[in-house]
Amino acid sequence: MSPDEYCQQKAAQSGSSFYYSFLFLSPERRRAITALYAFCREVDDTVDECTDVSIARAKLAWWRTEIGTMVNGTPTHPVTKALQPHLDVYSLEVTHLLAIIDGMEMDLDQTRYLDFAGLRKYCWHVASVVGILSAKIFGVTNIRTLEYAEKLGLAFQLTNIIRDVGEDARKGRIYLPINELQQFNVTAADILNARHTEDFEKLMQFQAERAQHCYDEALSILPKEDRRAQRPGLIMASIYRALLNEIQRDGFHVLNQRISLTPIRKLWLAWTTYIRG
C-alpha cells in the first residue's frame, strides 16, 4: 500500500463529513488534504484509543520527532511520507502541525475548562489550526481567508462538542465551560449521569447559538475572490450546520445518543453546495 493509499483508507474509514468535501478537489489538492486529515486522525487516535497516559504521551512525542524528520526529507510513517511533498507547495507551517499535537496532548492534561476563553484556546489547537492548513491547500489569495478558516474551524469544533457531550462524558471529559454550567444550574454530575433536564436544554441552546454565530461570522468574512477555491470548506460548513440544526430540532438529546446525518444526506449537501459555488 502506498502512502497516499494509506491516507485515503484512513479518511474513508472515518466516515467523517470532511471526506465528502474532498471529492470535489483536483487530484493534487485531494492528496494533500487527505494526507493532512490522516495526520490529524493518527494523532487524535493516539489519545482516544490509548488508555495509558504515559504511552499516549510517548506516542505524541514520537509524532513531534517524526514531523522534524519529515521536514528534513526523511519521513518514516506513511502519513508523513504522503504529506511531505505538499509542505512547500501549499506553505504548510510546521508550527501549525505541532500545534495540533499540542491540542491533542491537552486532552491528556485537562478534562474541564473554567470558561470559554480556555475552551477557545483548546479549539484553536485542535480545529482552527486545521482550518487554516486546509484553507491553504484549497487555495488562498486574500489573507482574510485564513481568518475565515480559523473562525470556521472554531464553529466545527463547537458543533462537535455539542454532538459529543454524552460520548465525552463517558470518557470523563466535559468540554462545556464550568462557569456556563453554573450559569444554567447544570452540574457536572448531571452530565456524567446523563440527566437531560430543562436547564440542560437551555445550556445547550446557549452553546448552539454561539456556534451558529461563529458560522455566520466566518461566512461573512470570506473574501469573494477566494469563495470558489474554498468550496470544500463551505461544503463542510453546510454539512456541519445541518447537523447542528438537527441536534437543535431534536431538543439536544445528546447525552445518550450520537446524532448524525446519513451518508446520502451528506452527499446531497456536498453536491448542492458545490454547484451553488
The C-alpha cell 453554573 sits at: 182
Measuring CA to CA, how many Å separate 158 from each of 7, 114, 153? 26, 16, 9
Check residue 21 and give its pLDDT: 82
Check residue 55 and give its pLDDT: 92
Check residue 7 and give its pLDDT: 93
Extract the C-alpha cell encoding 10.
484512513
Judge contact between 85 and 29, C-beta under 8 A: no
Burial of 21 from C-beta contacts in 10 A (0-12 / 13-18 / 19+): buried
Q: Please give the DSSP secondary-structure letter assigned to residue 151.
A: H
pLDDT single digits (tens) 86-122: 999 999 999 999 999 999 999 999 999 999 999 999 9
Low-confidence ranges of the chain (pLDDT < 70): 14-15, 277
Of the candidates 82, 87, 2, 93, the residue with the CA atom closest to the CA atom of residue 42: 82
Of the candidates 5, 28, 3, the residue with the CA atom closest to the CA atom of residue 82: 3
> What DSSP string describes 153-199?
HHHHHHHHHHHTHHHHHTTT---S-HHHHHHTT--HHHHHTT---HH
Backbone phi and psi for residue 218, each to the nearest 5 degrees, phi listed first: -60, -50
Check residue 13 and give its pLDDT: 76
The single-letter code of the amino acid at 30 is R
The single-letter code of the amino acid at 61 is A
Which of helix, strand or coil describes residue 202?
A: helix
pLDDT single digits (tens) 3-34: 999 999 888 876 677 777 888 899 999 999 99
The single-letter code of the amino acid at 143 is I
**Exposure string for 177-210, b = 16+ CB within 10 A, e = fewer:** beebbeebebeeebbeeeebeebbbebbeebbee
Check residue 15 and give its pLDDT: 65
Sign of CA dihedral 25, 27, 31, 32: negative
Judge contact between 210 and 129, C-beta under 8 A: no
Which of helix, strand or coil describes residue 76?
A: coil
